[in-house]
Structure 1
Amino acid sequence: MLDLLNLLRDALPVLLTGTGWTMTFALASMGGGMVVATLVAGLRLLGPAWLVYLLGLYVSAFRGTPLLVQVFVIYYGLPSVGVQLEPLPAGVLALSLNAGAYLAESLRGAIAGVPPGQWEAAASLGLRRSQALRYIIAPQALRLAVPSLGNTLISLIKDTSLVSVIAVTELMLATKELISTTFQPLPLYLAAAAIYWVLSVGLERVQRTLERRLALPG
């Protein structure tokens, strides 16, 4: 028991450093995903038919293929066409594009959940469709999308473990490196799992608080 406590005490600084990178990685990818999702959702609503079709293919492709494959395509595949990315930006790009596909659908559903009368009211005020979306519909849709956004961020925290395959030192890779020197896989993997769990529980509570505060009247 004492040996186990000593192991965890010695491993804690490395695990916490990996946790910091995991959170940084997840938040950066969430930000990138939101930018992608906002553009995709808006253009699918307002853009020409050919662009709507292409963006639909993007959403379908990234939702229908494993994230690990997407990471490999971006990091190992793009150099074959002259695009070389370092592990960190490659991982953030892969996660951002993957999250963007899911978030775009979440935003589209949230926009559809805004009562049609809001569009009609905006039109009666002389607002163009794009103006109505920006100033009236989008703020309400974002409030409706809070649960989906929170779930996506929680998923991203766990999905960052996949980018350890391209040598990004987040929590999972830090754990693997500790195991390679201590030969104690069970307690270290359990410690990593506990950290992921604590992060997820904390974000779930933040999500519930935001849901209550941002809930639309009625």
Structure 2
Amino acid sequence: MSVLLDHLPVIWQGLVVTLQLTVASFLGAAVLGVLVTAMRVSPVGVLRALGTAYVEAFQNLPLLVLLVLAFFGLPEIGIKAEPLVTAIVVISIYEAAYIAEALRSGVNSVGKGQGEAARALGLTFRQSLWYVILPQALRTVVQPLGNIIIALTMNTLLAGAISVVDLTEEAKRINLVEAQPIPIFVGVGLIYALIASGVGFVTGRLERRLVMVR
């Protein structure tokens, strides 16, 4: 592992980029995922169909293909952005489909009486969803959302295909110089494992706490 210690500043720089990708992409995906969930449970049939089509489309498209298409295709129509920004936007759009599906399952677990009671109090669909249904739904999908964050973290390494220099790309560059793939990639793999373990630990604790206050 001495080869990693020799290149610790570079490894740290790549880790920072990976964490930036993960956090920013999850926040974007969470916002979009809530909107898609609202569409999927909407009383308006057209919105439900659009929400379902969104989820089905992005769950069945490879993320790598979307990244490459966005990176090389958008400049052709006059839309230019930094590789990191492009990666964040594309990953957010992609992962939003999985978040929306998880949230929809959570919404379906909330008793119908909750929505009926909210409507009886005069709340609109948006108000009942935001103040009554979603808070309860979130308690049931903490662990699935944690799994999505872990998968998202692993998916960030695909951003290297569009010139984003993340942790994996830095490891590749170090290997080109040192030619020691086993310690380099085992070390980087352990870093990813630590991130995944940290997410799992936090979501596990959060899930238990929410169950206790339910």
If the length of structure 1 is used for normalisation, what is the TM-score? 0.92
Distance of 2:122 and 2:174 partners within structure 1: 63
Distance of 1:47 and 1:19 partners within structure 2: 44
Find the counterpart in structure 2 of residue 179 from structure 1. 175
Distance of 2:213 and 2:8 partners within structure 1: 45
**After TM superposition, what 4+ stretches of structure 1 lie above 6 angstroms from structure 2?**
none
Count residues in correspondence: 214
2:50 to 44, 51, 54: 54
Given residue 70 of structure 2, which amino acid in structure 1 is its aligned partner? I
Distance of 2:51 and 2:112 partners within structure 1: 24
Q: Determine helix, strand or coil for the equivalent of 2:101.
A: helix
Find the counterpart in structure 1 of residue 109 from structure 2. 113
Given residue 130 of structure 1, which amino acid in structure 2 is its aligned partner? R
2:147 to 146, 151, 161: 151
Distance of 1:47 and 1:63 partners within structure 2: 24
Cα distance, 1:137 vs structure 2: 0.6
Find the counterpart in structure 1 of residue 197 from structure 2. 201
Alignment of 1:37 onto 2:33:
yes
The answer to whether the 8 A contact 2:114-2:133 is kept is yes
Identity among equivalent pairs (%) = 37
Cα distance, 1:120 vs structure 2: 2.1
Distance of 1:211 and 1:134 partners within structure 2: 20
Alignment of 1:213 onto 2:209:
yes
The answer to whether the 8 A contact 1:34-1:100 is kept is yes
The answer to whether the 8 A contact 1:144-1:216 is kept is no
Consecutive unaligned residues in structure 1, runs of 5 or more: none
Distance of 1:78 and 1:214 partners within structure 2: 43
The answer to whether the 8 A contact 1:22-1:171 is kept is yes
Q: Determine helix, strand or coil for the equivalent of 2:58.
A: helix
Q: Deviations over 1:19-57 (max 9, x none)?
A: 121111100000000011011111222263233322322
If the length of structure 2 is used for normalisation, what is the TM-score? 0.94
Cα distance, 1:178 vs structure 2: 0.7
Consecutive unaligned residues in structure 2, runs of 5 or more: none
Q: Determine helix, strand or coil for the equivalent of 1:46.
A: coil
Distance of 1:140 and 1:130 partners within structure 2: 15
